[in-house]
Chains A and B, each alone.
Chain A
Amino acid sequence: MAGRLRILLFATAREAVGESTLSWPLPRTGLTARQLLDALGKAHPKLAPVLSISRIARNGAYLTLLSTPLTSGDEIAIHPPFSGG
């Protein structure tokens, strides 16, 4: 299961990390979306409060269950509350 995930960061999430994309290692033991968010929050403390109010999309579709196991090559988008218009 080892591989990498591509993380897309927008708006306040991007500002908290200082990057718009991250390449994140997927351990052999696998990773759920919840575990990924916990790891991201630990690696980037300013991101943690943003994650708690963001929607998480996997390959273009929102995740409703954070227990979803992630797969190598998945694209995970972090969407803070929208403000378009």
Chain B
Amino acid sequence: MTVLVGRRPLSLERAYRHLGDASSGGVVLFVGRVRPEDQRGRPLVALDYEADVRMAVGALRRLEGECARRFGTRKVFVEHRIGRLRVGTASVIVGAAAPHRAAAFQAARFLIECLKLEAPIWKTDRYRSNRRTVAR
């Protein structure tokens, strides 16, 4: 089980390595990236991410445990980056390794959807000239 919230750039290779387990026939990795526009279609230059790191890690660890019980995952991985991230930069990676692909896909989807609802992480839109915090 691996849950990380920090400033270093994300790495798919590192995520895949954490999920490495020869007994898992299916590994699914999802990467969330900074979109070029806000919800109203206005161009963004970056998003500033912040987190209550201690509580975010706690919330994500609970999700990991839930994945194992619910989907039978062998391993899961969640890393969320914080700080200023420019458009196109990876902000989050979630991954799940399971004996079969269906469970791996379900678990990865569950992880990213529940992360958005349950992890105390926030983003603030950064425009060329002003800014606005969004709650999605």
Contacts and interface: CB of A to CB of B under 8 A. Distances in A.
Interface stretch (B48-56, B68-76, B101-109): B48-56
The interface size bin for chain A is: 10 to 19
A85 B92 contact: yes
Contacts of B58: 60
Interface in A12-32: 12, 14-15
Nearest to A84: B121
A70 interface: no
Contacts of A83: 116, 121-123, 133-136
Contacts of B50: 10-11, 14
Contacts of B112: 85
Contacts of A11: 50, 122, 124, 133, 135
Nearest to B47: A83
Contacts, number: 67
B115 A85 contact: yes
Contacts of A77: 52, 55, 120
Contacts of B56: 84
Interface string B91-103: 1100000000000
Given A11-B124, A85-B91, A80 B52 contact: no
B116 A10 contact: no
B118 interface: yes
A10 B122 CA distance: 8
Nearest to B117: A82
B121 A82 contact: yes
Interface of B: 32, 49-52, 54-56, 58, 80, 91-92, 112, 115-124, 133-136
Given A60-B58, A83-B136, A84-B80, 17 more contacts: A8-B52, A10-B122, A11-B133, A11-B135, A15-B124, A57-B55, A77-B120, A79-B120, A82-B116, A82-B119, A82-B120, A83-B122, A83-B134, A83-B135, A84-B120, A85-B32, A85-B112
